[in-house]
């Protein structure tokens, strides 16, 4: 009797579950599995979104690094160009100023020689003083010619070559021309210092002779 009653209770419970399933149309086990599946799909979608965001940030960072590298390369290249140009300009300006100073020295020297040469007049000398006057005048001429030739040789390799009628002028000054400039300036100073007293005395003697 007791056993039969238990069987009846089990069948009653199964019937109640079946009646609940039939009434709602939803299986509780299926419902739990579906919920877990939907949750898993939601988590997967979140992971995919996070992965896409990480990839976007990676590409953005890569673009930034490439842009930074390109900027640095352009900056370095421009710095090299500007540094090279400034250095070259400094050299050109220094060379131009030095050549201008040398031209001014040469002009002063040439003007002095020109004045002396213009004052020479052998026809005004008498026969007794002609030999002495010619010797003195020849010395003046020779000195002027020597310094003129030195100037031509010096400036022929520079920007001012056309001043002396030289067509094949170089545009840059070499170490040799720099050394030549020093020698040229030294020759000018030494020549003037050595010959100036003689030239002054000679000129004064010539003037005294002419004024007699």
In angstroms, rounded to a whole number, what is the distance separating the alpha carbons of residues 8 and 11?
5
Structural contact between residues 116 and 203, judged by C-beta atoms closer than 8 angstroms: yes
Asked whether the predicted pLDDT for residue 168 surpasses 60, the reply is: no
What is the tally of helices (H) and strands (E) in the chain?
4, 0
CA gap 114, 118 in Å, rounded = 6
- The mean pLDDT of 8-37, rounded to a whole number, is 57
Q: Cβ distance 21 to 27 under 8 Å?
A: yes
**Residues 92-122: tens digit of each pLDDT:** 999 889 888 989 998 999 999 899 888 888 7
Cβ proximity of 160 and 150 under 8 Å: no
Tens digit of each residue's pLDDT (9 = 90 or more) over 45-95 = 899 999 999 999 999 999 999 999 999 999 999 999 999 999 999 999 998
Residue 98 to residue 77: CA distance in whole angstroms: 32
Who wins on pLDDT, 14 or 85?
A: 85
Handedness of CA 194, 197, 203, 209 (dihedral sign): negative
Phi-psi region of 125 (alpha: psi -120 to 50; beta: other; left: phi over 0): beta
Indicate yes or no: pTM above 0.85: no
In this prediction, residue 175 has a pLDDT band, given cuts at 50, 70 and 90, of: very low
Of residues 167, 164, 144, 160, the one with CA closest to residue 152: 164
Say how far apart CA 67 and CA 189 lie, in whole Å: 62
Measured distance CA(172)–CA(14) in Å, rounded = 112
The pLDDT of residue 151 is 87
């Amino acid at each position: 009797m007791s056993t039969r009653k238990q069987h009846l209770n089990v069948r009653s419970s199964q019937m109640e579950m079946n009646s609940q399933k039939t009434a709602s149309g939803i299986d509780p086990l299926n419902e739990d599995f579906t919920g877990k599946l939907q949750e898993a799909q939601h988590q997967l979608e979140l992971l995919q979104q996070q992965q896409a965001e990480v990839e976007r940030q990676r590409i953005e960072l890569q673009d930034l690094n490439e842009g930074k590298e390109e900027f640095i390369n352009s900056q370095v290249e421009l710095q090299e160009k500007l540094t090279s140009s400034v250095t070259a300009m400094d050299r050109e300006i220094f060379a131009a100023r030095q050549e201008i100073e040398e031209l001014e020295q040469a002009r002063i020297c040439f003007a002095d020689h020109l004045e002396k040469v213009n004052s020479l007049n052998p026809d005004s000398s008498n026969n007794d003083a002609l030999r002495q006057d010619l010797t003195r005048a020849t010395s003046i001429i020779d000195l002027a010619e020597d310094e003129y030739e030195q100037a031509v040789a010096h400036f022929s390799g520079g920007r001012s070559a056309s001043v002396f009628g030289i067509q094949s002028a170089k545009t840059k000054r070499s170490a040799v021309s720099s050394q030549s400039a020093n020698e040229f300036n030294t020759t000018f100073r030494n020549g003037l210092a050595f010959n100036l007293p003689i030239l002054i005395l000679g000129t004064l003697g010539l003037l005294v002779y002419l004024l007699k």
